[in-house]
Amino acid sequence: MHEIIVIHEGSRQTYGVPRVPAELRPLEGRVNRKRVVRLMREHGIQDVTPRKRRSLTRPGRRPGRPRT
């Protein structure tokens, strides 16, 4: 559990279930993904997904009248 916390904190709390076991494999050898999921859930560790803002309209363009 200590290694999971160190990896999670070292990634600024962005690493979740897919990356934590991948980081543990070189250290521990074989790592069960389901065990990592269970331990992270029990200790309330979750990843934070950075959100990307996307504009739905193009700036500087006004809708025109349809041509007939």
- Parse the chain into domains and list their residue ranges: 2-42
Sequence-separated (6 or more) residues with CB below 8 Å from residue 66? none
Sequence-separated (6 or more) residues with CB below 8 Å from residue 47? 8, 13, 14, 15, 16, 17
What's the mean pLDDT in 15-27? 89
pLDDT at 63: 65
Dihedral in degrees, nearest 10, Cα atoms 9, 15, 16, 22? -110
23-65 pLDDT per residue, tens? 999 988 888 999 999 999 999 998 887 777 776 766 666 666 6
Tokens standing for residue 55: 């504009």
How far apart, in whole angstroms, are the C-alpha atoms of residue 21 and residue 1?
A: 12
pLDDT at 53: 75
